[in-house]
Structures are given as structure tokens and as C-alpha cells.
Amino acid sequence: MSQQVFFYKGLHKVKVVTESEGYWIVEAQEDFEDYADGERVNVKAGERRIVPLHTLYQEKTLSSPIPEHVYELQLEKKVQKMVAEHEKAKETK
């Protein structure tokens, strides 16, 4: 048995009980809500679950932020350039 703590889906603390190929059996260290077969399930501390390996992380993480659209970034640069040119023209008058 492993004593190492992992984070299920990067948020919920779990301890690995059994390791196998593709799926691990983990024991919840805290209460949390999860979805199984399209239904919301309350998981209590101490309850064991079978989870895919790719849902476990070594450290607590949040999902990455949604990247801004490329067009919006280009437009923002263009506006900043226009403002800088306008201010420069204002100074020379």
C-alpha cells in the first residue's frame, strides 16, 4: 500500500490503496462531490473508488485559464499602438 497523497482531478485529496494498469483504487481523505454514470455522487472521507490513472495528480492544481482569442490580442495591440501614435502627435503640436 502506498502512503503517498495524490489529488483526484487536481482538487480532492486521496490516498492510493491499490495500483494496477490504467486504474487505481483510491481512498478519499476528504468529502467531495463527483460524477459517476452521469449522476452526482457524494464521496465521504474514507470511501474507496476506482479511478483512471490520468485523473490523479501529484500536487494540487487548478485547470489552466482559457486562452484569449488571437484576434482579440491583435486588436488590443493595434489599439495600444494607435493610442501611442495619437499621444505622440499631440506632444509634437
Q: Which run of H or E residues covers position 16?
A: strand 12-19
Quote the pLDDT of residue 82. Answer: 95
Gap between the Cα atoms of 42 and 33, Å rounded: 5
Quote the pLDDT of residue 37. Answer: 84
Q: Which run of H or E residues covers position 86?
A: helix 70-92
User: In this model, does residue 91 exceed pLDDT 70?
Assistant: yes
In degrees, to the nearest 5, what angle opens at C-alpha 83 toward C-alphas 77 and 85? Answer: 100
pTM of the model: 0.57
Taking residues 45-66, report their average pLDDT: 81
Q: How many CB atoms lie within 10 A of CB 62?
A: 7
Question: Per-residue pLDDT tens for 16-49?
Answer: 888 888 898 999 999 988 888 888 989 899 999 8
